[in-house]
Amino acid sequence: MIETLTDPSLWAALFTLTALEIVLGIDNIIFISILSSRLPKQKQKKARQIGLLLAMVTRILLLFSLSLIMKLTSPLFTIFTHEISGRDLILIVGGLFLMAKSVTEIHHKLEGDPESMEGNSKKTTFTKVIVQIMILDIVFSLDSVITAVGMTNQLGVMIAAVVLSVGFMLMSSGSISDFVDSHPTIKILALSFLILIGLALFGEGWELHIPKGYIYFAMAFSVIVELLNMKLRKPDEKPVVLKGKFD
């Protein structure tokens, strides 16, 4: 036991995997923040916390079900000579869900009817937001778990990395959410990124692999350009107010 804890390779794997889990979880935080922003202000923090805790539980349960995840690669059926496995099906459906939800959110933020705001607040219930977060967690958790399995065979290291990464995200989710919520262009950019991620997941399901380096470069470059725009904005210039927002 002591020899295991003093093994440098174990700590290196834990550090690397935790960092990767945080990177993979950033898009999850952004989407959870966007979904929770449709709730009244006093309920947003609770929705974010529950969403991230559900993400942690989902990932740990999937880690304990490693044998099941490995079986997800077995073909279930064939479409146009392409064999579709359980993993492919989850990625395809999850990618389509992510793209559809992101486009819907962009429409809601830019073209939502301000006169129907009261009606929207009644339709967007806390339970509905949590259910949407749970669906999203399943999609992102699969990618996260597959990454963990590919890096180490130590279940304890995987679980520790998940717990540490979610703990970090719980502490930073509030500041990330506030920043995204107070900068409309960042919110629209974030939703555009999620369309890109959804497309990448959809492609993965069809074995059309898009190198993630390209996706991360596009995201980083876009954010840098927008940060420069924010820096150059005149003090008296006020950003547009997105619709579908509660005070």
The answer, yes or no, to whether residue 208 has pLDDT greater than 80, is yes
What percentage of residues in the chain have a pLDDT greater than 90? 0
Q: Bigger pLDDT: 72 or 166?
A: 166
Instruction: Judge whether 22 lies within some domain.
Output: yes
Expressed as residue numbers, the domain containing 21 is: 8-75+84-232
Residue 65 has what pLDDT? 76
Residue 116 has what pLDDT? 45
Instruction: Judge whether 202 lies within some domain.
Output: yes
**pLDDT level of residue 225 (50, 70, 90 thresholds):** very high
Q: Which two tokens stand for residue 30?
A: 């952004």
CA distance 8 to 6: 6
Instruction: Judge whether 155 lies within some domain.
Output: yes
Instruction: Judge whether 243 lies within some domain.
Output: no
Mean pLDDT of 225-240: 78
The answer, yes or no, to whether residue 4 has pLDDT greater than 60, is no
Instruction: Judge whether 210 lies within some domain.
Output: yes
Instruction: Judge whether 245 lies within some domain.
Output: no
DSSP assigned state of 78: E
Indicate the number of domains in the chain: 1
Closest by Cα among 206, 195, 194, 210 to 91: 206
13, burial (CB in 10 Å: exposed 0-12, middle 13-18, buried 19+): buried
The answer, yes or no, to whether residue 120 has pLDDT greater than 60, is no
Q: Bigger pLDDT: 240 or 157?
A: 157
DSSP assigned state of 83: E
Task: Give strand pairing partners of 78.
Answer: 83
Is the full-model pTM beyond 0.75?
Answer: no
Instruction: Judge whether 247 lies within some domain.
Output: no
Q: What is the CA radius of gyration of the chain?
A: 19
